[in-house]
Amino acid sequence: MTIQAKSESRPMTEEADFLQIKSIDHIHFYVGNAKQAMYYWWKAFGFKPVAYSGLETGNREFASYVLESGTARFVVSAPYAPSHQIAAHHMVHGDGVKVIAMEVDDVEKAWQATTSRGGKSAWAPREEKDDHGIYRTSAIYTYGETQHVFVDRGDYKGVFAPTYRPIKDKEAQSTGLAAVDHVVGNVQFGKMDHWVNFYHQVMGFRQLMHFDDKDISTEYSALMSKVMQNGNGRVKFPINEPAEGRRKSQIEEYLDYYLTPGAQHIAIITGDILKTVEQLRRNGVEFQRVPDTYYDALPDRVGSIKENMKDIHELGILVDRDDEGYLLQIFTKPIQDRPTMFVEIIQRHGSQGFGVGNFKALFESIEADQEKRGNL
Ligand code: FE2
């Protein structure tokens, strides 16, 4: 078996980085029940509910909660009426990520730059105003029905956006989740390079690395992956496509249930994965579990690490090493009824990789669940 992870990072000139994205501003989930989704991120993942929009705040169309943990900001929204576009989205996809929003200085410039390079507009630059200032956005489509919203908060001092009011009575017990590390998209067979080109040409991203796992594709639910990264390196979007194999790829299972390409997983950084995962488990979060034999070979594979191997094993955490250092990671089971989106918890000790050395063990664990669902 050979799995190659090739690093292809090159320094980027300011001109090539025409979008000048500062960071991921928020990730917006369209769900069936925003109140309960809020409760899940709050009580299971330790996000703090900070803002609400809904009937009580003058929003007659949808209920929406904003939650934060470190710099990670998630928004969950559900419609009040079947005619609303959130209802249509939810009917097709179930709960899922609609928007991956990025903060920029100039939403007009971002929209012009991307749409003139072939990006499909979701909405032209617009301003929403209230007593707290002007909230400026523009948006384009990426894979499937997913959108990238450009956000400029420079002249907005309110909580999140107009119609949202602060939530003051909900304290959270943080699990140590600090920031979004990367967001992975699943696209159809043969479409990975199309979307790699989209991120390069339309958004000025560069390819950071690729995973070519054709040697395991005949035996395991395989995938191909390329990682795109923006100019300042804060935004990383790996793109997966299914690879041909003897069994149904986990990416195909996703596409069968999400019905279009979409966000497969969000990786969230922690500074102490042992503490984070211990607490998440206590809160009821369910994780993929690799076989115990994984841990027999681990010391030889990754060498010495700071963390206690026994704790790593007990919690089911995975470890991978490359020339830059190592990383620890773990993946949840799907977080909604459909076997679509899941969450990754990751801690980096130098390594800027994605855990390619864990793919085989991880795929086997996912496959076992696919089999239980009758989808292998
Ligand atoms: Fe990941």
- State the span(s) of the chain assigned CATH 3.10.180.10: 15-166, 175-373
For residue 65, how far is its CA from the centre of ligand 1 (angstroms)? 25
- Which pLDDT score, from 0 to 100, does residue 14 have? 58
For residue 181, how far is its CA from the centre of ligand 1 (angstroms)? 8
Instruction: Using the Cα atoms of residue 27, residue 29, residue 35 and residue 36 in order, give the sign of their dihedral.
Output: negative
**Which amino acid, 286?**
E
- Which pLDDT score, from 0 to 100, does residue 2 have? 40
Alpha helices by DSSP H, listed for 31-145, are: 34-43, 85-93, 107-116
Token readout for 300 is: 């030889």
For residue 182, how far is its CA from the centre of ligand 1 (angstroms)? 7
Contact 376, 247 (CB under 8 A): yes
Q: Which fold has domain 175-373?
A: 2,3-Dihydroxybiphenyl 1,2-Dioxygenase; domain 1 (3.10.180)
For residue 51, how far is its CA from the centre of ligand 1 (angstroms)? 28
CATH of domain 15-166: 3.10.180.10
For residue 119, how far is its CA from the centre of ligand 1 (angstroms)? 25
Angle separating helix axes 250-258 and 359-372, nearest 10 degrees? 50
As a 3-state breakdown, the chain gives helix, strand, coil percent values, each rounded to 5, of: 25, 35, 40
For residue 184, how far is its CA from the centre of ligand 1 (angstroms)? 7
For residue 264, how far is its CA from the centre of ligand 1 (angstroms)? 9
Nearest to 370 by CA among 220, 267, 214, 243: 220
- Which pLDDT score, from 0 to 100, does residue 273 have? 98
For residue 106, how far is its CA from the centre of ligand 1 (angstroms)? 30
For residue 183, how far is its CA from the centre of ligand 1 (angstroms)? 7
For residue 160, how far is its CA from the centre of ligand 1 (angstroms)? 27
pTM for this structure? Answer: 0.94
For residue 324, how far is its CA from the centre of ligand 1 (angstroms)? 18
Token readout for 145 is: 């029905």
Per-residue model confidence as pLDDT tens for the chain (376 residues): 344 555 655 555 656 789 999 999 999 999 999 999 999 999 999 999 999 999 999 999 999 999 999 999 999 999 999 999 999 999 999 999 999 999 999 999 999 999 999 999 999 999 999 999 999 999 999 999 999 999 999 999 999 999 999 999 999 999 999 999 999 999 999 999 999 999 999 999 999 988 876 655 556 667 889 999 999 999 999 999 988 777 788 899 999 999 999 999 999 999 999 999 999 999 999 999 999 999 998 999 999 999 999 999 999 999 999 999 999 999 999 999 999 999 999 999 999 999 888 888 888 888 888 889 999 8
For residue 170, how far is its CA from the centre of ligand 1 (angstroms)? 30
- Which pLDDT score, from 0 to 100, does residue 249 have? 84
- Torsion, Cα of 176, 26, 187, 126 (10° steps): 180
